[in-house]
Amino acid sequence: MDVIQNMMEYSHQSTHFFYHKSSGLKTIISIHDTTMGPALGGCRFFNYKSESHALEDALRLSRGMTYKSAVAGVPLGGGKSVIIGDHTHLRSRELFRAFGTFVNSLGGRYITSVDVNTTVQDLKWMHETTRYVTWPNESYGGSGDPSYMTAYGVYCGLKSALRHQLAKDSFAGVRIGVQGVGSVGELLCEHLHRDGAILTIADTHKARLAVVAKKFGAKTVAPNDIYKADVDIFVPCAMGGVLSDDTIPHIKAKIIGGAANNQLLEDRHGALLRDLGILYCPDYVINAGGIINVYYALRDSTDGFNAKHVEKARKHTAEIEGTLDHIFTVSSRDGVLPHEAASLIAREKLEQARKSQSQS
């Protein structure tokens, strides 16, 4: 992969490659934009097919974090880090201490947190060598588990999509397929089940799938069959890139919106969804609850994270519903795709911030 060319394509500020021999750490930290504030984004530990795939993931995810913060009105920039390798074999205190050292060398331009296959314990190890880390553990002055606010934001966003696409004000009797029932997926199922939705769920972790299915009376299907499920709403809450030429033709849902990042494998897949009459909720808009939660913890960290901050974060997260109302209205009015309308809003906010900074 041509690294500089790809950074130019995504308009990134910097990308950093680190290697630590004794622990086996190979990591990429990508900083997309710090106009609004320091770049915040989790650390993903994944056994990528190649270093090129890892770089592509870091670039796309960090750009998404910039847009997520901008649209949500959070004064943070966008970054992301990826650790390349099998987390079941490489995970160690030494590895995460080394990772923390690398984060620290960036002088606060990047703040890390949890992501796929990283844990609170990993973050504690990072914290031994850097203060630029936030973890979901209130007893350590952290931000509380951001999964709750992420799930709540998706729930609020889906209410907007439900009105715009299906002219419904309630999830009662609405058939919803949830892909991935980890921390966020399970919490979202709880919201939807409480409102009377009929759930179909899928996950690669069979034991967890069975527990969640029993808890909410959900039907289970194999991971690859969730795309074919006879549902009204499809909710991706696992890995990104799931909306592709291979999966979209099988989708029966009329609404797609979930917690996963980078759901569109390519931007052109947004047009394919529109042509099939499917309303797509831009991922970095509907799943912004987690970063909103972290922002209030960082802003008010002097007195620790408490119920006051949770309420502030919850009220801000509820605004995702109105934000999507606006995006769907702009999309319909101007004849642009929802994710294009969202990107335009994000870029406008970033440009306004740059102009304001240049004038000050």
Task: Please identify which of the residues 80, 124, 206, 215 carries the catalytic annotation.
Answer: 80
Q: How many other β-carbons are positioned within 10 Å of the β-carbon of residue 222? A: 11
User: What is the rounded distance in angstroms from the CA atom of residue 310 to the CA atom of residue 152?
Assistant: 12
User: What is the rounded distance in angstroms from the CA atom of residue 252 to the CA atom of residue 317?
Assistant: 29
CA distances from 162 to 69, 185, 301 (A): 24, 18, 36
Sorted by sequence, the CB contacts under 8 Å of residue 78 that are 6+ apart come out as 31, 32, 33, 39, 40, 41, 62, 63, 64, 65, 66, 67, 68, 69
Query: For the chain, what is the largest distance between any 2 Cα atoms, rounded to a whole number of angstroms?
Result: 58
Provide the 3-class DSSP secondary structure of residue 230: coil
Task: To the nearest 10°, report the CA torsion of 96, 138, 39, 186.
Answer: 90
Crossing angle (nearest 10°) for helices 320-334 and 338-359: 110
Burial of 101 (0-12, 13-18, 19+ CB in 10 A): middle
Answer yes or no: are the C-beta atoms of 175 and 233 closer than 8 Å: yes
Verify whether residue 168 is a known catalytic residue.
no
CA 119 from centroid of its chain's CA atoms: 16
The type of residue at 264 is L
User: What is the rounded distance in angstroms from the CA atom of residue 279 to the CA atom of residue 337?
Assistant: 9
Which residues participate in catalysis according to the annotation? 80
